[in-house]
Chain A
């Protein structure tokens, strides 16, 4: 039982990374922009966050640095895609290639660096409940804040006027433009916000999840986060659910190894990627279902007057 409580705890932790990044990408896609640069932004944010924590000792400054880097890179991407009308897929890919190289380049000095040991986190009283306590209530505050973030996003998107405008930009930029909304500025804002969240997720990886810096340490989590938005049919609550599900798959490999399943570790390491492919195929199987839920202008450029 004890080991299942730990598995659940690890699942929440791993799921949080995916949830934060995927919620950010959801904001992007809701206004019609797909940012394939997620992996690159997360890597740059991971090294920025890690370096900041190493030199200042403050986790929260590390998160802030990660968010700033994510937002800055997303802004460059946004300017290219939204104002210069470049192809979204190619531009995002350029961002990922650049980010992968740049983070490795900047990070060489930090490969051996260590973050000081920090006290573990615990919600008072609740964390003492047997099994449930260690599983649910001994996490970094960000784990709980992520749930709050998802709830806020749901409220914003479906209960506020700004959220409605945002969604209308994604459904039909032409109509939103005709109604007088600054489509490009809204899109840029959403892209930057999404980048900041990807950055936060990246910093969480290098500061809390595995507190160290290794080249390419995001290991495809940015891509899995991208797949999650489709999996969730662009609904924040389902993004959260999917993120924990995939966090569980990621952690399952260690659990299976722990209980002595005799399968080469490489096959267990494939699990999250194969699970992503399988789930993507199953969800996408019904084109109608995807078409109904997908923001209509996704991946399409919009240039007023063009």
Chain B
């Protein structure tokens, strides 16, 4: 049950990517996302594939671990591939009864597949696999900082995110405890019809909600007792700092961007 649910996908390590400033990684991931979504040409996609391959090497993670991140979207991949495969215009390259595959459709289907895979791989290598959730939250707070002037509650949102991260394991633990307690009273969560099972979940959710409210109340008191009064005048123990590695990585990203946009002009046919 709860023990099998892995929280986030962060894999501890000390690689070049692990050491980068989370803001660098976040911006780079967004940039790569835009590049992947906006480029259709074979050369651009090859450059991006090369970039993702170098990220894989820089992360020093096991290849299986990285590829595993594709698993949750396999169904989507198959669907997107087939949908594109059977549509489109152009020369027919295969037909059997009602199944018709055209050249244009095949190329598009492959490109879509490659783009989706690159999208998932680049974000998981740059963010989820090599950055702790709390650093991601910090990076978001920092990057959204300018919005504070527009009275956007940046600090509050980031505080909420980090408290959520802190309490997920505690609540999972608690859920497991409640399930065991109710099972001991004869509750059965595996068999019976939908209605019976739904009722079973009430016996887990109600205690879980009640205890969450109590925890929230306690936590608010504990935070006040430690002089919390919102983001005003608050300093941070961990101050994010750009290093030379970040500069190096940023230059690499700029070069990649330029190449992705420039190459299609050099090879207009592809």
Do A and B associate with each other? no
